[in-house]
Structure 1
Protein backbone atom coordinates (compact mmCIF):
# COMPACT_ATOMS: atom_id res chain seq x y z
CA UNK A 1 0.00 0.00 0.00
CA UNK A 2 1.41 3.45 -0.83
CA UNK A 3 2.63 5.43 2.14
CA UNK A 4 0.65 8.47 3.22
CA UNK A 5 1.36 11.76 4.91
CA UNK A 6 -1.13 13.64 7.05
CA UNK A 7 -2.08 17.15 6.07
CA UNK A 8 -4.08 18.80 8.82
CA UNK A 9 -4.08 21.64 11.31
CA UNK A 10 -6.51 20.15 13.82
CA UNK A 11 -5.61 16.62 14.89
CA UNK A 12 -8.13 14.24 16.38
CA UNK A 13 -7.73 13.21 19.98
CA UNK A 14 -6.07 9.83 20.45
CA UNK A 15 -8.92 8.90 22.80
CA UNK A 16 -12.20 8.25 21.00
CA UNK A 17 -15.05 10.46 22.19
CA UNK A 18 -18.14 9.00 23.80
CA UNK A 19 -20.63 7.98 21.18
CA UNK A 20 -23.73 10.17 20.95
CA UNK A 21 -25.73 7.05 20.15
CA UNK A 22 -27.87 5.68 22.97
CA UNK A 23 -27.21 2.31 24.53
CA UNK A 24 -23.80 1.72 22.98
CA UNK A 25 -21.10 1.23 25.62
CA UNK A 26 -17.75 0.40 24.05
CA UNK A 27 -19.02 1.52 20.65
CA UNK A 28 -16.70 4.24 19.37
CA UNK A 29 -17.47 5.01 15.72
CA UNK A 30 -15.97 7.46 13.30
CA UNK A 31 -16.53 8.37 9.65
CA UNK A 32 -14.21 7.53 6.73
CA UNK A 33 -14.62 9.33 3.39
CA UNK A 34 -12.37 8.41 0.45
CA UNK A 35 -12.07 11.24 -2.05
CA UNK A 36 -10.56 11.75 -5.47
CA UNK A 37 -11.32 15.10 -7.12
CA UNK A 38 -14.86 15.50 -5.74
CA UNK A 39 -14.33 19.15 -4.86
CA UNK A 40 -17.89 20.16 -5.74
CA UNK A 41 -19.64 17.78 -3.35
CA UNK A 42 -17.37 17.05 -0.39
CA UNK A 43 -18.27 20.17 1.59
CA UNK A 44 -21.98 19.32 1.47
CA UNK A 45 -21.26 15.73 2.50
CA UNK A 46 -19.21 16.85 5.51
CA UNK A 47 -21.82 19.44 6.49
CA UNK A 48 -24.56 16.80 6.33
CA UNK A 49 -22.57 14.55 8.68
CA UNK A 50 -22.06 17.22 11.34
CA UNK A 51 -25.22 16.30 13.21
CA UNK A 52 -23.64 12.96 14.15
CA UNK A 53 -20.87 14.75 16.06
CA UNK A 54 -18.34 12.11 15.05
CA UNK A 55 -14.67 12.39 14.11
CA UNK A 56 -14.19 12.14 10.37
CA UNK A 57 -11.19 10.93 8.37
CA UNK A 58 -11.16 12.25 4.81
CA UNK A 59 -8.63 10.30 2.74
CA UNK A 60 -7.36 12.33 -0.21
CA UNK A 61 -6.33 9.76 -2.80
CA UNK A 62 -4.00 12.01 -4.80
CA UNK A 63 -6.61 14.63 -5.77
CA UNK A 64 -5.95 17.69 -7.91
CA UNK A 65 -4.96 21.07 -6.48
CA UNK A 66 -8.51 22.45 -6.58
CA UNK A 67 -9.79 19.58 -4.43
CA UNK A 68 -6.84 19.91 -2.06
CA UNK A 69 -7.73 23.57 -1.57
CA UNK A 70 -11.31 22.66 -0.65
CA UNK A 71 -10.05 19.99 1.76
CA UNK A 72 -7.67 22.48 3.35
CA UNK A 73 -10.56 24.86 3.98
CA UNK A 74 -12.68 22.07 5.48
CA UNK A 75 -9.75 21.07 7.67
CA UNK A 76 -9.41 24.57 9.06
CA UNK A 77 -13.13 24.99 9.70
CA UNK A 78 -14.09 21.56 11.07
CA UNK A 79 -12.42 20.45 14.28
CA UNK A 80 -13.76 16.91 13.92
CA UNK A 81 -12.13 16.44 10.51
CA UNK A 82 -8.69 15.00 9.84
CA UNK A 83 -7.45 14.95 6.25
CA UNK A 84 -5.06 12.14 5.35
CA UNK A 85 -3.20 12.77 2.11
CA UNK A 86 -1.96 9.89 0.00
CA UNK A 87 0.97 10.86 -2.22
CA UNK A 88 -0.49 9.27 -5.33
CA UNK A 89 -3.82 7.94 -6.52
CA UNK A 90 -4.07 4.28 -5.54
CA UNK A 91 -7.76 3.55 -6.00
CA UNK A 92 -10.88 3.76 -3.87
CA UNK A 93 -10.04 0.60 -1.98
CA UNK A 94 -6.56 1.85 -1.13
CA UNK A 95 -8.06 5.07 0.22
CA UNK A 96 -10.65 3.23 2.32
CA UNK A 97 -8.00 0.87 3.72
CA UNK A 98 -5.84 3.87 4.65
CA UNK A 99 -8.79 5.46 6.46
CA UNK A 100 -9.80 2.29 8.29
CA UNK A 101 -6.25 1.65 9.46
CA UNK A 102 -6.03 5.26 10.68
CA UNK A 103 -9.28 4.77 12.59
CA UNK A 104 -7.91 1.60 14.19
CA UNK A 105 -4.71 3.40 15.18
CA UNK A 106 -6.80 6.08 16.93
CA UNK A 107 -8.71 3.46 18.90
CA UNK A 108 -12.06 3.55 17.14
CA UNK A 109 -14.13 0.37 17.04
CA UNK A 110 -16.30 1.04 13.98
CA UNK A 111 -16.16 3.18 10.85
CA UNK A 112 -18.99 4.53 8.76
CA UNK A 113 -17.86 4.67 5.13
CA UNK A 114 -19.47 7.36 2.98
CA UNK A 115 -18.68 8.26 -0.63
CA UNK A 116 -17.61 11.84 -1.38
CA UNK A 117 -19.77 12.31 -4.46
CA UNK A 118 -22.99 13.09 -2.61
CA UNK A 119 -24.99 10.14 -3.95
CA UNK A 120 -25.85 8.76 -0.51
CA UNK A 121 -28.71 9.92 1.69
CA UNK A 122 -26.65 11.08 4.64
CA UNK A 123 -29.73 11.38 6.84
CA UNK A 124 -29.70 7.55 6.93
CA UNK A 125 -26.27 7.53 8.59
CA UNK A 126 -27.75 7.52 12.09
CA UNK A 127 -29.85 4.47 11.19
CA UNK A 128 -26.70 2.67 10.03
CA UNK A 129 -24.86 3.56 13.22
CA UNK A 130 -27.74 2.60 15.50
CA UNK A 131 -27.98 -0.80 13.81
CA UNK A 132 -24.23 -1.21 14.18
CA UNK A 133 -24.36 -0.24 17.85
CA UNK A 134 -27.08 -2.82 18.47
CA UNK A 135 -25.07 -5.54 16.67
CA UNK A 136 -21.42 -4.45 17.00
CA UNK A 137 -20.02 -7.64 15.47
CA UNK A 138 -21.96 -7.14 12.23
CA UNK A 139 -21.04 -5.59 8.91
CA UNK A 140 -23.82 -3.12 8.06
CA UNK A 141 -24.30 -2.74 4.31
CA UNK A 142 -26.35 -0.25 2.36
CA UNK A 143 -28.79 -1.76 -0.10
CA UNK A 144 -29.45 0.91 -2.74
CA UNK A 145 -32.89 1.89 -3.92
CA UNK A 146 -32.35 3.68 -7.20
CA UNK A 147 -34.05 6.69 -8.67
CA UNK A 148 -35.39 6.47 -12.21
CA UNK A 149 -32.35 8.29 -13.59
CA UNK A 150 -29.92 5.61 -12.42
CA UNK A 151 -27.78 4.36 -15.33
CA UNK A 152 -29.24 1.02 -16.40
CA UNK A 153 -25.80 -0.40 -17.14
CA UNK A 154 -24.96 0.01 -13.45
CA UNK A 155 -28.23 -1.48 -12.29
CA UNK A 156 -27.77 -4.59 -14.46
CA UNK A 157 -24.08 -4.76 -13.58
CA UNK A 158 -25.02 -4.95 -9.91
CA UNK A 159 -27.32 -7.88 -10.59
CA UNK A 160 -24.46 -9.79 -12.18
CA UNK A 161 -22.25 -9.00 -9.19
CA UNK A 162 -24.99 -10.16 -6.80
CA UNK A 163 -25.19 -13.48 -8.62
CA UNK A 164 -21.47 -14.13 -8.19
CA UNK A 165 -21.49 -13.02 -4.56
CA UNK A 166 -24.31 -15.44 -3.82
CA UNK A 167 -22.26 -18.23 -5.43
CA UNK A 168 -19.14 -17.23 -3.49
CA UNK A 169 -20.97 -17.22 -0.16
CA UNK A 170 -23.59 -19.92 -0.88
CA UNK A 171 -25.96 -17.46 0.74
CA UNK A 172 -28.44 -14.69 -0.02
CA UNK A 173 -27.50 -12.78 3.14
CA UNK A 174 -25.54 -10.09 1.31
CA UNK A 175 -27.97 -7.96 -0.67
CA UNK A 176 -25.45 -5.54 -2.20
CA UNK A 177 -21.66 -5.38 -2.18
CA UNK A 178 -21.06 -2.30 -4.32
CA UNK A 179 -22.67 0.40 -2.20
CA UNK A 180 -20.05 2.54 -0.46
CA UNK A 181 -22.42 3.40 2.41
CA UNK A 182 -21.67 0.91 5.19
CA UNK A 183 -20.35 0.42 8.73
CA UNK A 184 -17.30 -1.77 9.36
CA UNK A 185 -16.52 -3.54 12.64
CA UNK A 186 -12.84 -2.65 12.66
CA UNK A 187 -11.67 -5.68 14.63
CA UNK A 188 -13.07 -7.96 11.90
CA UNK A 189 -11.49 -5.77 9.22
CA UNK A 190 -8.10 -5.98 10.96
CA UNK A 191 -8.33 -9.77 11.27
CA UNK A 192 -8.80 -10.03 7.51
CA UNK A 193 -6.09 -7.55 6.54
CA UNK A 194 -3.62 -9.36 8.79
CA UNK A 195 -4.02 -12.44 6.57
CA UNK A 196 -5.00 -11.12 3.16
CA UNK A 197 -3.79 -8.39 0.83
CA UNK A 198 -7.05 -6.79 -0.24
CA UNK A 199 -7.68 -5.30 -3.64
CA UNK A 200 -7.37 -1.54 -3.86
CA UNK A 201 -9.77 -0.32 -6.54
CA UNK A 202 -13.54 -0.59 -7.03
CA UNK A 203 -13.19 -4.32 -6.36
CA UNK A 204 -12.41 -3.65 -2.68
CA UNK A 205 -16.05 -3.14 -1.66
CA UNK A 206 -17.31 -6.57 -2.80
CA UNK A 207 -14.16 -8.39 -1.70
CA UNK A 208 -14.22 -7.21 1.91
CA UNK A 209 -17.93 -8.04 2.20
CA UNK A 210 -17.42 -11.60 0.91
CA UNK A 211 -14.37 -12.18 3.10
CA UNK A 212 -16.19 -10.93 6.19
CA UNK A 213 -19.03 -13.32 5.41
CA UNK A 214 -16.54 -16.16 5.08
CA UNK A 215 -15.11 -15.17 8.46
CA UNK A 216 -18.53 -15.55 10.07
CA UNK A 217 -19.23 -11.84 10.47
CA UNK A 218 -23.01 -11.25 10.63
CA UNK A 219 -24.44 -9.19 7.78
CA UNK A 220 -27.11 -6.51 8.20
CA UNK A 221 -28.65 -4.83 5.15
CA UNK A 222 -30.34 -1.42 5.17
CA UNK A 223 -32.32 -0.04 2.25
CA UNK A 224 -31.15 3.45 1.38
CA UNK A 225 -31.80 5.75 -1.60
CA UNK A 226 -28.94 6.37 -4.02
CA UNK A 227 -29.11 9.31 -6.39
CA UNK A 228 -26.90 9.40 -9.48
CA UNK A 229 -26.12 12.85 -10.84
CA UNK A 230 -25.97 12.49 -14.61
CA UNK A 231 -23.49 15.39 -14.71
CA UNK A 232 -21.56 14.15 -11.69
CA UNK A 233 -17.98 12.90 -11.60
CA UNK A 234 -17.55 9.13 -11.74
CA UNK A 235 -14.22 7.32 -11.56
CA UNK A 236 -15.61 3.99 -12.69
CA UNK A 237 -13.62 2.90 -15.74
CA UNK A 238 -15.95 0.59 -17.65
CA UNK A 239 -13.23 -1.59 -19.16
CA UNK A 240 -10.57 -1.65 -16.44
CA UNK A 241 -12.92 -1.90 -13.48
CA UNK A 242 -15.04 -4.61 -15.08
CA UNK A 243 -11.87 -6.59 -15.79
CA UNK A 244 -10.92 -6.14 -12.14
CA UNK A 245 -14.34 -7.41 -11.10
CA UNK A 246 -14.01 -10.46 -13.36
CA UNK A 247 -10.59 -11.17 -11.87
CA UNK A 248 -11.91 -10.75 -8.33
CA UNK A 249 -14.88 -13.06 -8.76
CA UNK A 250 -12.74 -15.68 -10.47
CA UNK A 251 -10.36 -15.60 -7.50
CA UNK A 252 -13.16 -15.70 -4.92
CA UNK A 253 -14.93 -18.59 -6.65
CA UNK A 254 -11.71 -20.61 -6.69
CA UNK A 255 -11.13 -19.83 -3.02
CA UNK A 256 -14.71 -20.76 -2.21
CA UNK A 257 -14.14 -24.25 -3.60
CA UNK A 258 -11.28 -24.68 -1.13
CA UNK A 259 -13.37 -23.26 1.71
CA UNK A 260 -16.47 -25.27 0.83
CA UNK A 261 -16.00 -28.05 3.43
CA UNK A 262 -15.56 -25.57 6.28
CA UNK A 263 -18.51 -23.48 5.06
CA UNK A 264 -20.77 -26.53 4.98
CA UNK A 265 -19.57 -27.73 8.39
CA UNK A 266 -20.34 -24.33 9.89
CA UNK A 267 -23.83 -24.40 8.39
CA UNK A 268 -24.50 -27.90 9.75
CA UNK A 269 -23.11 -27.01 13.14
Structure 2
Protein backbone atom coordinates (compact mmCIF):
# COMPACT_ATOMS: atom_id res chain seq x y z
CA UNK A 1 0.00 0.00 0.00
CA UNK A 2 1.27 3.50 -0.82
CA UNK A 3 -0.50 5.22 2.09
CA UNK A 4 -2.75 7.32 -0.14
CA UNK A 5 -6.38 7.83 0.82
CA UNK A 6 -8.97 6.44 -1.58
CA UNK A 7 -11.44 9.00 -2.94
CA UNK A 8 -13.83 6.31 -4.23
CA UNK A 9 -17.29 6.80 -2.64
CA UNK A 10 -18.30 4.17 -0.09
CA UNK A 11 -20.85 1.70 -1.46
CA UNK A 12 -22.25 -0.79 1.01
CA UNK A 13 -25.49 -2.27 -0.29
CA UNK A 14 -28.14 -4.69 0.92
CA UNK A 15 -31.40 -5.98 -0.54
CA UNK A 16 -34.76 -5.09 1.00
CA UNK A 17 -37.78 -7.26 0.21
CA UNK A 18 -41.23 -6.27 1.53
CA UNK A 19 -43.35 -9.38 2.09
CA UNK A 20 -47.08 -9.76 2.67
CA UNK A 21 -48.59 -13.25 2.39
CA UNK A 22 -46.24 -14.46 -0.35
CA UNK A 23 -45.45 -17.72 1.43
CA UNK A 24 -45.14 -19.66 -1.85
CA UNK A 25 -42.99 -17.16 -3.73
CA UNK A 26 -40.63 -15.75 -1.12
CA UNK A 27 -38.50 -18.87 -0.70
CA UNK A 28 -37.51 -19.17 -4.39
CA UNK A 29 -37.15 -15.39 -4.70
CA UNK A 30 -34.86 -15.22 -1.67
CA UNK A 31 -32.76 -18.16 -2.85
CA UNK A 32 -32.26 -16.46 -6.23
CA UNK A 33 -31.29 -13.15 -4.61
CA UNK A 34 -28.77 -14.81 -2.30
CA UNK A 35 -26.90 -16.26 -5.27
CA UNK A 36 -25.47 -12.77 -5.80
CA UNK A 37 -23.91 -12.60 -2.34
CA UNK A 38 -25.60 -9.54 -0.90
CA UNK A 39 -27.19 -9.43 2.57
CA UNK A 40 -30.99 -9.42 2.53
CA UNK A 41 -33.50 -7.75 4.80
CA UNK A 42 -36.99 -9.28 4.77
CA UNK A 43 -39.76 -6.98 6.01
CA UNK A 44 -42.83 -8.90 7.11
CA UNK A 45 -45.70 -6.48 6.56
CA UNK A 46 -48.06 -8.09 9.05
CA UNK A 47 -48.44 -11.37 7.15
CA UNK A 48 -50.78 -14.15 8.24
CA UNK A 49 -49.55 -17.23 10.13
CA UNK A 50 -48.58 -19.26 7.04
CA UNK A 51 -46.27 -16.59 5.59
CA UNK A 52 -45.06 -15.54 9.04
CA UNK A 53 -43.84 -19.06 9.76
CA UNK A 54 -42.15 -19.33 6.35
CA UNK A 55 -40.28 -16.08 6.97
CA UNK A 56 -39.16 -17.13 10.44
CA UNK A 57 -37.83 -20.41 9.03
CA UNK A 58 -36.00 -18.62 6.20
CA UNK A 59 -34.40 -16.26 8.70
CA UNK A 60 -33.15 -19.25 10.70
CA UNK A 61 -32.08 -21.19 7.61
CA UNK A 62 -29.81 -18.50 6.19
CA UNK A 63 -28.35 -17.20 9.46
CA UNK A 64 -26.37 -13.97 9.07
CA UNK A 65 -27.08 -13.61 5.35
CA UNK A 66 -30.75 -12.83 6.00
CA UNK A 67 -32.36 -10.59 8.60
CA UNK A 68 -36.07 -10.42 9.30
CA UNK A 69 -37.99 -7.54 10.81
CA UNK A 70 -41.72 -7.87 11.44
CA UNK A 71 -44.33 -5.13 11.45
CA UNK A 72 -47.11 -5.65 13.95
CA UNK A 73 -49.84 -5.08 11.39
CA UNK A 74 -50.18 -4.73 7.65
CA UNK A 75 -49.36 -1.16 6.64
CA UNK A 76 -48.92 -1.58 2.90
CA UNK A 77 -45.98 -2.03 0.56
CA UNK A 78 -44.79 1.54 1.02
CA UNK A 79 -44.83 1.26 4.80
CA UNK A 80 -42.77 -1.93 4.62
CA UNK A 81 -40.24 -0.46 2.20
CA UNK A 82 -39.85 2.66 4.36
CA UNK A 83 -39.29 0.54 7.46
CA UNK A 84 -36.67 -1.48 5.59
CA UNK A 85 -34.83 1.58 4.25
CA UNK A 86 -34.65 3.15 7.70
CA UNK A 87 -33.46 -0.12 9.25
CA UNK A 88 -30.64 -0.60 6.74
CA UNK A 89 -29.56 3.03 7.09
CA UNK A 90 -29.37 2.60 10.86
CA UNK A 91 -27.15 -0.46 10.30
CA UNK A 92 -24.68 1.62 8.28
CA UNK A 93 -25.55 0.59 4.74
CA UNK A 94 -25.20 3.28 2.07
CA UNK A 95 -27.60 1.81 -0.48
CA UNK A 96 -30.64 -0.47 -0.55
CA UNK A 97 -31.97 -2.41 -3.50
CA UNK A 98 -35.75 -2.81 -3.41
CA UNK A 99 -37.04 -6.08 -4.91
CA UNK A 100 -40.58 -7.45 -4.88
CA UNK A 101 -41.27 -10.73 -3.08
CA UNK A 102 -43.37 -12.34 -5.81
CA UNK A 103 -40.54 -13.16 -8.20
CA UNK A 104 -41.58 -10.78 -10.96
CA UNK A 105 -38.17 -9.14 -11.30
CA UNK A 106 -35.40 -10.57 -13.46
CA UNK A 107 -32.58 -10.95 -10.98
CA UNK A 108 -30.00 -11.44 -13.69
CA UNK A 109 -30.18 -7.64 -13.92
CA UNK A 110 -29.13 -7.24 -10.28
CA UNK A 111 -25.38 -6.91 -11.04
CA UNK A 112 -26.16 -4.14 -13.54
CA UNK A 113 -28.30 -2.29 -11.00
CA UNK A 114 -25.57 -2.63 -8.39
CA UNK A 115 -22.84 -1.50 -10.78
CA UNK A 116 -24.91 1.54 -11.80
CA UNK A 117 -25.56 2.42 -8.16
CA UNK A 118 -21.87 2.17 -7.37
CA UNK A 119 -20.90 4.24 -10.40
CA UNK A 120 -23.56 6.88 -9.67
CA UNK A 121 -23.93 6.71 -5.87
CA UNK A 122 -26.09 9.86 -5.65
CA UNK A 123 -28.67 8.63 -8.18
CA UNK A 124 -31.90 6.75 -7.59
CA UNK A 125 -31.59 3.84 -10.02
CA UNK A 126 -35.00 2.61 -11.18
CA UNK A 127 -36.06 -0.10 -13.54
CA UNK A 128 -38.42 0.39 -16.44
CA UNK A 129 -40.16 -2.86 -17.36
CA UNK A 130 -39.98 -4.97 -20.45
CA UNK A 131 -42.99 -7.25 -20.06
CA UNK A 132 -43.57 -10.79 -21.22
CA UNK A 133 -46.97 -12.31 -22.01
CA UNK A 134 -47.79 -12.80 -18.31
CA UNK A 135 -48.59 -9.13 -17.70
CA UNK A 136 -52.33 -8.43 -17.17
CA UNK A 137 -53.49 -6.18 -20.01
CA UNK A 138 -55.44 -3.84 -17.71
CA UNK A 139 -52.43 -3.21 -15.49
CA UNK A 140 -50.17 -2.76 -18.53
CA UNK A 141 -52.27 0.07 -19.94
CA UNK A 142 -53.49 1.58 -16.67
CA UNK A 143 -49.98 2.20 -15.35
CA UNK A 144 -49.36 4.65 -18.18
CA UNK A 145 -51.97 6.97 -16.68
CA UNK A 146 -49.68 7.19 -13.67
CA UNK A 147 -46.67 7.80 -15.91
CA UNK A 148 -48.42 10.70 -17.64
CA UNK A 149 -49.30 12.31 -14.32
CA UNK A 150 -45.73 11.90 -13.09
CA UNK A 151 -44.41 13.53 -16.27
CA UNK A 152 -46.80 16.43 -15.63
CA UNK A 153 -45.93 16.70 -11.95
CA UNK A 154 -42.19 16.68 -12.63
CA UNK A 155 -42.40 18.74 -15.85
CA UNK A 156 -40.04 16.17 -17.29
CA UNK A 157 -39.87 12.89 -19.22
CA UNK A 158 -36.70 11.75 -17.50
CA UNK A 159 -38.48 9.11 -15.37
CA UNK A 160 -39.37 6.29 -17.77
CA UNK A 161 -41.45 4.22 -15.33
CA UNK A 162 -42.89 5.25 -11.99
CA UNK A 163 -44.22 2.03 -10.47
CA UNK A 164 -41.44 -0.51 -10.94
CA UNK A 165 -40.36 -1.92 -7.58
CA UNK A 166 -36.81 -2.77 -8.70
CA UNK A 167 -34.72 0.18 -7.49
CA UNK A 168 -31.44 1.20 -5.88
CA UNK A 169 -31.88 3.91 -3.25
CA UNK A 170 -29.03 6.01 -1.82
CA UNK A 171 -30.04 5.63 1.81
CA UNK A 172 -28.87 8.93 3.29
CA UNK A 173 -30.82 10.90 0.71
CA UNK A 174 -33.99 8.82 0.72
CA UNK A 175 -34.18 8.74 4.52
CA UNK A 176 -33.68 12.52 4.56
CA UNK A 177 -36.57 12.83 2.08
CA UNK A 178 -38.82 10.52 4.12
CA UNK A 179 -38.03 12.46 7.30
CA UNK A 180 -39.08 15.71 5.68
CA UNK A 181 -41.97 14.73 3.39
CA UNK A 182 -44.90 12.38 3.55
CA UNK A 183 -45.01 9.54 1.02
CA UNK A 184 -47.78 6.96 0.57
CA UNK A 185 -47.83 3.70 2.48
CA UNK A 186 -49.38 1.45 -0.16
CA UNK A 187 -48.91 1.15 -3.92
CA UNK A 188 -48.75 4.95 -4.11
CA UNK A 189 -45.29 4.90 -2.51
CA UNK A 190 -43.22 4.05 -5.60
CA UNK A 191 -44.52 6.88 -7.82
CA UNK A 192 -44.71 9.44 -5.01
CA UNK A 193 -41.20 9.01 -3.66
CA UNK A 194 -39.64 9.30 -7.11
CA UNK A 195 -41.60 12.49 -7.87
CA UNK A 196 -40.50 14.06 -4.60
CA UNK A 197 -36.93 12.89 -5.35
CA UNK A 198 -37.07 14.59 -8.77
CA UNK A 199 -38.49 17.79 -7.27
CA UNK A 200 -35.27 18.13 -5.28
CA UNK A 201 -33.24 17.99 -8.47
CA UNK A 202 -31.59 14.73 -7.47
CA UNK A 203 -30.45 12.40 -10.28
CA UNK A 204 -32.46 9.47 -11.60
CA UNK A 205 -31.00 6.65 -13.70
CA UNK A 206 -33.36 4.41 -15.71
CA UNK A 207 -32.45 0.81 -16.52
CA UNK A 208 -34.48 -1.63 -18.64
CA UNK A 209 -35.48 -4.85 -16.90
CA UNK A 210 -37.60 -7.86 -17.80
CA UNK A 211 -40.76 -8.30 -15.70
CA UNK A 212 -43.14 -11.25 -15.49
CA UNK A 213 -46.18 -11.73 -13.25
CA UNK A 214 -46.00 -13.52 -10.40
CA UNK A 215 -45.20 -17.13 -9.69
CA UNK A 216 -47.83 -17.61 -6.99
CA UNK A 217 -50.63 -15.65 -8.67
CA UNK A 218 -50.97 -13.35 -5.65
CA UNK A 219 -51.38 -9.63 -6.20
CA UNK A 220 -52.00 -7.19 -3.37
CA UNK A 221 -53.06 -4.37 -5.68
CA UNK A 222 -56.60 -3.41 -4.64
CA UNK A 223 -58.27 -2.06 -7.78
CA UNK A 224 -60.56 0.27 -5.84
CA UNK A 225 -58.58 1.32 -2.77
CA UNK A 226 -55.19 1.63 -4.44
CA UNK A 227 -56.53 3.47 -7.50
CA UNK A 228 -58.29 5.94 -5.20
CA UNK A 229 -55.07 6.45 -3.21
CA UNK A 230 -53.04 6.88 -6.40
CA UNK A 231 -55.56 9.37 -7.80
CA UNK A 232 -55.46 11.40 -4.57
CA UNK A 233 -51.67 11.25 -4.65
CA UNK A 234 -51.57 12.64 -8.19
CA UNK A 235 -53.90 15.48 -7.22
CA UNK A 236 -51.79 16.27 -4.15
CA UNK A 237 -48.59 16.20 -6.19
CA UNK A 238 -50.06 18.38 -8.92
CA UNK A 239 -50.79 21.19 -6.46
CA UNK A 240 -47.42 20.56 -4.85
CA UNK A 241 -45.81 20.97 -8.27
CA UNK A 242 -47.54 24.33 -8.76
CA UNK A 243 -46.21 25.58 -5.41
CA UNK A 244 -42.70 24.36 -6.24
CA UNK A 245 -42.74 25.43 -9.90
CA UNK A 246 -39.93 28.03 -9.72
CA UNK A 247 -37.66 25.64 -7.81
CA UNK A 248 -38.42 22.72 -10.17
CA UNK A 249 -37.55 24.85 -13.19
CA UNK A 250 -34.38 26.04 -11.48
CA UNK A 251 -33.34 22.47 -10.64
CA UNK A 252 -33.95 21.39 -14.25
CA UNK A 253 -31.46 23.99 -15.47
CA UNK A 254 -28.79 22.46 -13.23
CA UNK A 255 -29.43 18.76 -13.98
> Which band: TM-score by shorter chain?
over 0.9
**Residue 33 in 1 paired to residue 20 in 2?**
no
Aligned counterpart, 2:158:
173
In the superposition, relative to structure 1, how do residues 25 and 89 fare at CA in structure 2: closer, same or farther (>3 Å)? same
CA distance in structure 2 between the partners assigned to 1:206 and 1:172 by the alignment: 14
Aligned counterpart, 1:18:
none
Match for 1:245 among 230, 247, 255?
Answer: 230
Q: CA deviation at 1:246?
A: 0.3
Match for 1:47 among 31, 36, 47?
Answer: 31
Match for 1:98 among 63, 68, 83?
Answer: 83
Q: CA deviation at 1:230?
A: 8.0
Match for 2:117 among 114, 132, 155?
Answer: 132
CA distance in structure 2 between the partners assigned to 1:149 and 1:62 by the alignment: 28
Tell me the number of residue pairs that the alignment of Structure 1 and Structure 2 aligns.
247
Q: CA deviation at 1:231?
A: 5.8
**Residue 210 in 1 paired to residue 195 in 2?**
yes
> Which one is further off, 144-153 or 84-93?
144-153
Provide the secondary structure at the position in 1 that maps to 2:21: coil
**Residue 66 in 1 paired to residue 50 in 2?**
yes
Q: CA deviation at 1:170?
A: 0.6
CA distance in structure 2 between the partners assigned to 1:170 and 1:262 by the alignment: 12
Are the equivalent residues in 1 in contact too, given 2:22–2:216 (CA < 8 A)? no
Q: CA deviation at 1:158?
A: 1.2
RMSD (CA atoms)? 1.4
CA distance in structure 2 between the partners assigned to 1:231 and 1:59 by the alignment: 19
Q: CA deviation at 1:196?
A: 1.1
In the superposition, relative to structure 1, how do residues 212 and 157 fare at CA in structure 2: closer, same or farther (>3 Å)? same
Q: CA deviation at 1:191?
A: 1.6
Normalising by structure 2, we get a TM-score of: 0.93
Unaligned 5+ segments in structure 2 are: 1-6
Are the equivalent residues in 1 in contact too, given 2:127–2:208 (CA < 8 A)? yes
Deviations 1:25-51 (A, max 9, x none): 510000100000000011111111112
CA distance in structure 2 between the partners assigned to 1:122 and 1:267 by the alignment: 33
CA distance in structure 2 between the partners assigned to 1:40 and 1:224 by the alignment: 23
Aligned counterpart, 2:94:
109
Match for 1:256 among 241, 249, 253?
Answer: 241
Provide the secondary structure at the position in 2 that maps to 1:194: helix
Aligned counterpart, 2:208:
223
> Which one is further off, 256-265 or 84-93?
256-265
Deviations 1:49-84 (A, max 9, x none): 112221111000010111111111111111211110
Instruction: Point out 4+ residue stretches in structure 1 off by more than 4 angstroms.
Output: none
Normalising by structure 1, we get a TM-score of: 0.89
Provide the secondary structure at the position in 2 that maps to 1:52: coil
CA distance in structure 2 between the partners assigned to 1:231 and 1:33 by the alignment: 16
Aligned counterpart, 1:12:
none
Aligned counterpart, 2:3:
none
In the superposition, relative to structure 1, how do residues 24 and 77 fare at CA in structure 2: closer, same or farther (>3 Å)? farther
Deviations 1:145-200 (A, max 9, x none): 11123111111111111100000111111011111111101111122112112210
